[in-house]
Amino acid sequence: MVKPRSSNPDLVNQTLIKLHWVKLVHNSFKSGSYYVLGDTTWTTTNLTWALEPGIRSDAIKPIKCAFQSWENATKFKFEKIDNYTKANVKISFTPIDQLREFLEYPKSVALSSYPPDGLLHFRADVPWVNGAQRGKMDIETVAVHELGHILGLEHSDVPSAVMYPTTKWGVIKRNLHEDDIAGIKEMYNFP
């Protein structure tokens, strides 16, 4: 079960996604840039991931692309496996009434956990799409952001960063920003 960590919210379109601990790190190479590291990291860079059986088929490609974004920018390698219970990262589309945190924060669209838990719950009743459509939420946009949390990152104060705490309905924000990459490299001592 995903547990809220503090009163610092993630927001999508000014609505709560989840809660976190915060460790703010100033990027001395870029004036005014801060990225936020979580408190835990993975002990390996080879992680497996799986989708809950019966997951909606239109979610598979954008989720794969989200993993590929983080793999391209880091030393992490992500392998999709079929065994949901044995995967490091477990992804589901969860009905609002089946996860306490969705009931506590009914405007949230996704919840994820930090290393080593690796849980990502998309709220099943959100109008999800692959792409930018008015009034709908892009699966890949949210997946890239939430995978950053699963890897241990918190938020960036750079509005164009994927790890910025807000995004809007009907838009895409899939490309990792240099601030996202600097944060993950700092966290894992990647060159």
C-alpha 166/C-alpha 113 separation (Å) is: 18
Residues with Cβ within 8 Å of 156's Cβ and at least 6 positions away in sequence, in order, are 33, 34, 35, 36, 162, 163, 164, 177, 179, 180, 183
Q: Which class in CATH covers the domain with range 29-188?
A: alpha beta
Q: 185: part of which helix (H) or strand (E)?
A: helix 178-188
Q: Going by DSSP bridges, is the β-strand pair 77-80/34-36 parallel, antiparallel, or unpaired?
A: unpaired
List the chain residues with pLDDT less than 70: 1-38
Q: Going by DSSP bridges, is the β-strand pair 15-20/8-12 parallel, antiparallel, or unpaired?
A: antiparallel
How do the domains of the chain map onto residue ranges?
Answer: 29-188
Residue 103: predicted pLDDT: 73
Name the E strands within the chain. Answer: 8-12, 15-20, 24-26, 34-36, 46-51, 77-80, 89-94, 110-112, 119-123, 128-129, 137-138
Helices first, then strands: H and E counts in the chain: 4, 11
SS3 104: helix
pTM value is 0.82
pLDDT in tens, 147-187: 999 999 988 889 999 998 888 899 999 999 999 999 999 89
In order of 10, 36, 55, 78, 184, the CA distances from 181 in angstroms are 19, 11, 29, 17, 5
Provide the token pair at 135.
Answer: 């009034």
Q: Going by DSSP bridges, is the β-strand pair 119-123/137-138 parallel, antiparallel, or unpaired?
A: unpaired
Q: Pick the catalytic residue: 101, 140, 146, 154? A: 146
Whether 146 is a known active-site residue: answer yes
The gap from C-alpha 146 to its chain's centroid, in whole angstroms, comes to: 1
pLDDT in tens, 9-23: 444 443 434 433 333
SS3 153: strand
